[in-house]
Structure 1
Amino acid sequence: MQTANSNDSHENFIMKVLKAQVAAPGAAMQRANNRQWALKPQDLAVLFKLVALGGQWLPYQAMAKQMHLSQFETHAAMQRLVACRLARTDEDGRVRPIMQVLHPFVFYGAAYVYPAVRTEITIGFATAYGAAPMKEHVMFADEFPPVWPHAEGTVRGPGLLPLYENAPLAARDDNTLAQMMTLFDALRIGQAREREKAGELLALRLR
């Protein structure tokens, strides 16, 4: 039969162990499951890519190549999407987007979490209302369309930083992905009427 003193001693021992684990630089606080998860901008692009694939699954190596990311960055993005409940892992280990939460996240979260960052006039790839499908629906008075700055681009206009450095290359290789990312940019920088139209067009692609 344990006494009150023995219970107190056991509790004190447990508390000391837990405090040591928290304080130790190489212990539990450094483990992935013990840190605060936070989405990175490229994670949204990876999420769009999962939607663009239409249920098809790409091995991490192929996915990384198409997204112009490293395999580590691609795998980490998938982990964060699952941790944030924007995607789920099937029994076969394949990551799938959760469509029910994707729409509200993109429209009411991501556009504010990843605010537009503009730059000076540059060369790159057209985006927002300067790219399809928005340019077919919106007339803009600007002399130049907004562009993702990139050396391989051919369009001149005010710069708008993409979600990550190589996003323009990933978009160039996948028209469906490109449309989702340029529409997302229209949500970020457009006026009320442009945002409304971009929302309609993007919603059609997030079903």
Structure 2
Amino acid sequence: MNLLPQDVLVMLKLSVARRTRWTYDQLGVALGMSMSMVHSSIRRATQARLYDEHRRRPVRAALEEFLVHGVKYAFPPDIGTVTRGVLTAFAAPVLRAEFAQNLDDVGVCVWPHPTGENRGVALTPLYRSVPDIARPGDELYDALCLLDAIRIGRVREQQRAAELLAALLRKEPDGDDAPAA
């Protein structure tokens, strides 16, 4: 069974979540997926050894390795034409200050979205719901933008994005602040 892009999205959400308890339904609503899609994603991630079903958490070291070294090959970037959308990669706030010069070389990248406030080169998001669910200032948004920088960047940019993504993944959740339903 092969991993799908939504499996990466589910693992990222669980990795940066401020809660340690969740339900399939809660995750599905938060990610714009059905409960069965979330369940299938968890099952595939478990088979790929990216998720520990006993602890109900991603295996952070394995996930980090896959995100940094595998995602760009498993899910290569699809770059399109100029469109309206949501900032990602080097244009996103998490990286903009460090790689402002890249915006001249690569251009502003956006996830296409009809209500997006920015214009830039279209970068197809990892999963179709990403532009709707990821909001600037949210850790999931930052993680997805860093992952896009790894997917489209040169070595130096990939390395810095990988460092920032690893730091984000290693942050510990606040604890059980919501009951499991």
- Give the shorter-chain TM-score range: 0.7 to 0.9
TM-score when scaled to structure 1?
0.76
The structure that has the greater radius of gyration is 1
Identify the residue that residue 87 of structure 1 maps to in structure 2: 51
Residues 60/78 of structure 1: CA separation in 2 closer, same or farther (3 Å cut):
same
How many Å separate the matches in 2 of 1:146 and 1:116? 11
Task: Check conservation: 2:91, 2:109, Cα contact below 8 A.
Answer: yes
SS of the residue corresponding to residue 156 of structure 1 reads strand
Task: Check conservation: 1:78, 1:95, Cα contact below 8 A.
Answer: no
| Structure 1 range deviating more: 194-203 or 134-143 | 134-143
Higher helix share: 1
TM-score when scaled to structure 2?
0.87
Identify the residue that residue 15 of structure 2 maps to in structure 1: 51
Identify the residue that residue 203 of structure 1 maps to in structure 2: 166
Task: Check conservation: 1:66, 1:173, Cα contact below 8 A.
Answer: no
Task: Check conservation: 2:49, 2:59, Cα contact below 8 A.
Answer: yes
Shift of 1:143: 8.7
Identify the residue that residue 96 of structure 1 maps to in structure 2: 57
Shift of 1:95: 2.6
SS of the residue corresponding to residue 122 of structure 2 reads strand
| C-alpha distance after superposition, 1:113-155 (max 9, x if no partner) | 1110011111110000010211121112159510001112111
Structure 1: 5+ residue runs without aligned partners?
1-36
Moved over 6 A (4+): none
Q: Which amino acid aligns with 2:42?
A: M
**Which residue, out of 131, 136, 146, partners 1:168?**
131
Shift of 1:39: 0.5
% identity of equivalent residues:
34
Identify the residue that residue 30 of structure 1 maps to in structure 2: none
Q: Which amino acid aligns with 2:129?
A: N
How many Å separate the matches in 1 of 2:17 and 2:68? 21
**Number of aligned pairs?**
168
